[in-house]
Structure 1
Amino acid sequence: MKNSKKNEIIKHNELQENGELNIMAQVKIVTDSTAMLLPHEIEKYDIKIIPLTITVDGVTYQDGITISPVEFMDKMAASKSLPQTSQPALGVFTEIYEPLVADGSSVISIHLTKGLSGSVDAARQAAMMVDGDITVIDSGLIDRSLGMVVLAAAEKAANGASRDEVLAEIKSVKEKTEQYLTVSKLDNLVAGGRLSKTAGLLAGMLNIRIGAHVVEGNINVETKGRGAKSTKAYIQKIIEVLQAAPKGVHAIGISTAGIPDERETLGEQLRTLFPEVEVVLQQTTPIVATHTGDGAIGFSYQLN
């Protein structure tokens, strides 16, 4: 027996002994690279990740595979034009789906909002090409808020839940999950056609920053203000909502486009205010950073 195969078997057995692997799972979970899952989360639940692609100055990269979020920020800053994002090809989906359904398992494929990518439509087309039970879901979310829904589904599936039970869990968690966004530089929103050039020019001259609630993929601007104080005030309002939550907070995710120091400072504040809540701090995916530009903050949370 080759050593690599032997090591795989040993690891498989260890996972079983530790209760980290459920070989009787009826449902398998797929998502995309924008879910911002941590490596140990992906491994624990054997979640399959489909990478989106990003093109910078004519060179195409696979999100999280051939380019990291930090590397992307440097390339975007030096790029001649706005990077272009695109959904995976149908074949990428089918290559993932086919082996998953081969043993009769159901697949639930949960993806970022259609408002920012055509990935969910590509997933549905690919699912129709595969002989198996595949349910594709538009989460209406992106980044760590998407990840929260995916993790809830994966945990439910690992505990032996049926497809319908996992789908019910997804619906329940989505209703308790919110995502907010602050954008300090509006250039990318203008270049991407999400803000008019005139509005972008005025905002830049006045140092206007926006705070927005992401609802079913729509970026609903809730506040506009000048300078960093407006961003802090908007985030404080979100924190106050969490503090007033009757049943408490289950999870918080902070993802930023660059600005690592600000991310760590906000994380320390949140960990002090919510010591029993896991607060995940990350550099956001290139897909989000392309739309928001440098300096953006994504604030995701899931209530109990």
Structure 2
Amino acid sequence: MTMLKIVTDGAADVPAGWEKEYDIKIIPINIHFGEKTFIQYVDMDFDGFYKEVETNKTFPKTSQPSPHQFAEFYRNNCQKGETILSIHVTSKLSGTYASCVAAAEELKGEYNIIPFDSLGGSMGIAFLCRTARQMERAGKSVDEIVKALEALRGQVQIILTLDTLEFAKRSGRVGTLSAALASVLNVKPIAILENGLVEMVAKVRTRKAALERVVEMGKEKFGNRPVSIGVMHARDIESGKALLEDAKKHFNVKDAHLTDLSISLAINFGPGTVGLILYPAE
């Protein structure tokens, strides 16, 4: 049986070691500072990105991999005839999934590419990739895997607290960012990624209160159900660790992971963003 290839993109916060352990291939995104373009992981890492943010007055932007970049990536990482499950960031906020669909059509006959819209981002995508690999190793068919992921993607909860509204305002990717909310200085907004879109749902005065509220919101949805949890941070590992430890006390945790927030999400939410991902654990 041909082994299933699993591909995702740079908006997935894949914990250290998972690429190898679960054989996940990651197509990088494009990062733009004015006229300068960088390829994530190739010529720009996290340190390079934050250094550029500090020194470059141009507001950074990202762009999805083009269909051509996808086609080249598949050809460089997969054998002809292989089945590729390509799991990507929500199509409602990014054109990555559309590029994947276009490349899949172009390469029809060479590869069996199955584009999958996670309707989410960050470590939510990584958990879906891990589930896909675990099911494949347990002998499940691709159809069974896709059906399971379709059922799971709507149950993933992603809650973020931002340190500043500046990046969210400039990126335009955050819905219901009211003028009243945007005008309040020093407020710590809380956002959720739900049904493929980011919505601002609360605002609190302090970082500590924001982190506590993130856990409360997760508890309201998951209660005592067994969960895999992920915490990601954009240049604030201390807040990330604090949130992870607090979450462990409040949830029925099967496994827990801490990662950097991907550059594509950090551009939209800004340095200092910390988030909690809750993923159903069987």
**Do the aligned partners of 1:257 and 1:283 also contact (CA within 8 Å) in 2?**
yes
**Do the aligned partners of 2:13 and 2:260 also contact (CA within 8 Å) in 1?**
no
**More helix by percentage:** 1
Secondary structure at the aligned position of 1:117 is classed as coil
Equivalent residue letter for 2:82? S
Aligned to 1:127: 104
Deviation at 1:145, TM superposition (A): 0.9
Deviation at 1:285, TM superposition (A): 0.8
Pairing 1:1-304 to 2, within 5 Å after superposition: 24-98=1-75, 100=78, 102=80, 104-130=81-107, 131=109, 132-194=111-173, 198-199=179-180, 202-204=183-185, 207-241=186-220, 244-245=223-224, 247-249=225-227, 251-273=228-250, 277-304=254-281
Secondary structure at the aligned position of 2:78 is classed as helix
- The percentage of counterpart residues that share the same residue type is 25
Equivalent residue letter for 1:84? K
Secondary structure at the aligned position of 1:277 is classed as strand
Deviation at 1:200, TM superposition (A): 6.4
**Do the aligned partners of 2:211 and 2:243 also contact (CA within 8 Å) in 1?**
no
Equivalent residue letter for 1:43? K
Tell me the number of residue pairs that the alignment of Structure 1 and Structure 2 aligns. 276
What whole-Å deviation, never above 9, does each CA across 1:124-179 have from its counterpart, x for those lacking one? 00110102321111111111011111111122223332220110121232243211
Deviation at 1:81, TM superposition (A): 2.2
Distance 1:33 1:226, change over 3 A: same
- CA–CA separation in structure 1 for the residues paired with 2:266 and 2:214: 19
Q: Compare CA radii of gyration and give the structure with the larger one.
A: 1
- CA–CA separation in structure 2 for the residues paired with 1:128 and 1:35: 23
Instruction: Note the residue ranges of structure 1 that are not aligned, 5 or more in a row.
Output: 1-23
Deviation at 1:38, TM superposition (A): 3.0
Deviation at 1:272, TM superposition (A): 4.6
**Do the aligned partners of 1:256 and 1:298 also contact (CA within 8 Å) in 2?**
yes
TM-score (normalised: structure 2): 0.88
**Do the aligned partners of 2:218 and 2:278 also contact (CA within 8 Å) in 1?**
no
**Do the aligned partners of 1:109 and 1:134 also contact (CA within 8 Å) in 2?**
yes
**Do the aligned partners of 1:45 and 1:158 also contact (CA within 8 Å) in 2?**
no
Deviation at 1:101, TM superposition (A): 5.4
- CA–CA separation in structure 1 for the residues paired with 2:2 and 2:17: 19
- CA–CA separation in structure 2 for the residues paired with 1:46 and 1:210: 36
Distance 1:223 1:197, change over 3 A: closer
Equivalent residue letter for 1:279? A
**Do the aligned partners of 1:27 and 1:161 also contact (CA within 8 Å) in 2?**
no
Of 130-139 and 172-181, deviating more is: 172-181
Deviation at 1:26, TM superposition (A): 4.5
Of 154-163 and 176-185, deviating more is: 154-163
Deviation at 1:291, TM superposition (A): 0.3
Deviation at 1:197, TM superposition (A): 9.1
- CA–CA separation in structure 2 for the residues paired with 1:184 and 1:279: 23
- CA–CA separation in structure 2 for the residues paired with 1:201 and 1:221: 11
- CA–CA separation in structure 1 for the residues paired with 2:140 and 2:4: 7
Deviation at 1:240, TM superposition (A): 2.9
Distance 1:146 1:73, change over 3 A: same
- CA–CA separation in structure 1 for the residues paired with 2:255 and 2:213: 22
